[in-house]
Chains A and B, each alone.
Chain A
Amino acid sequence: AQKVTQAQTEISVVEKEDVTLDCVYETRDTTYYLFWYKQPPSGELVFLIRRNSFDEQNEISGRYSWNFQKSTSSFNFTITASQVVDSAVYFCALSVTDNDMRFGAGTRLTVKP
């Protein structure tokens, strides 16, 4: 069975601080995909990144970076120099088959000015 754990329910930081959102996943499959989504107050989830299980390279996109480590089954997300607009709920998700995307419970990030 697939499972995603986001142990941090809520995080609060002050603007310009760096913040890391943790994601730990469980699967017995060797081929799988990991995702991060952002849910702003408007409600829709916005896709941030997809990573397949064969690509452990870390990725950086502007202030966002992702650290994928198969050895610890983790796919952590770091926001550098956080901004108020980063305030949202962030979801990590795992997909093995086409129609089985498992979401974590989400981490609510609040960035204070």
Chain B
Amino acid sequence: DGGITQSPKYLFRKEGQNVTLSCEQNLNHDAMYWYRQDPGQGLRLIYYSQIVNDFQKGDIAEGYSVSREKKESFPLTVTSAQKNPTAFYLCASSIEAGTSGRGELFFGEGSRLTVL
């Protein structure tokens, strides 16, 4: 079945360590996104990529990094510079808007990161 796979589902990290969250999609979507969700808050955009080898910062990119070497993959690295990394991270993809208007997002099941 087509969809988005995120791993790991749960991750624990010690302060000062970098950690990479995986996101893979087989929907053949051009655009991919990373969102952060905190309790009682909506989703906030970290990074997005519209095409391979290109990505843009979202609202809260500080302390995070991404790469887009393949269309299917958009890993997110949470670096030690991120001051409050404990959160739920969601990866999403979408068809480019084109002339049909803004497409909906397809989401993975998320990765819950806890900093000890």
- A31 and chain B: residue at smallest CB distance: B101
Instruction: Indicate whether A52 reaches chain B with its CB closer than 8 angstroms.
Output: yes
Q: Are B88 and A43 in contact (CB under 8 A)?
A: yes
Q: Are B109 and A44 in contact (CB under 8 A)?
A: yes
Task: Please indicate the chain B residues that have their CB under 8 angstroms from the CB of A43 in the complex.
Answer: 88, 90, 109-110
Task: Please indicate the chain B residues that have their CB under 8 angstroms from the CB of A47 in the complex.
Answer: 104-106
Q: Mark A15-48, 1 if CB is under 8 A from B, else 0.
A: 0000000000000000001010100001111110
Pick the residue among A44, A50, A98, A103 that contacts B104 (CB under 8 A).
A50
Instruction: Indicate whether A101 reaches chain B with its CB closer than 8 angstroms.
Output: yes
Bound complex: CA A50 to CA B104 (Å): 7
Q: Are B107 and A44 in contact (CB under 8 A)?
A: yes
Known: A43-B109, A105-B40. A99 touches B101 (CB 8 A): no
Bound complex: CA A103 to CA B88 (Å): 15
Q: Mark A42-78, 1 if CB is under 8 A from B, else 0.
A: 1111110010100000000000000000000000000
Task: Please indicate the chain B residues that have their CB under 8 angstroms from the CB of A106 in the complex.
Answer: 40-42
Known: A45-B90, A99-B31. A52 touches B101 (CB 8 A): yes
Which of A's residues lie within 8 Å of B, judged by CB? 4, 9, 33, 35, 37, 42-47, 50, 52, 91, 95, 98-106
- Pick the 5 closest A-B CB pairs, nearest first: A103-B42, A43-B110, A33-B102, A47-B104, A45-B107
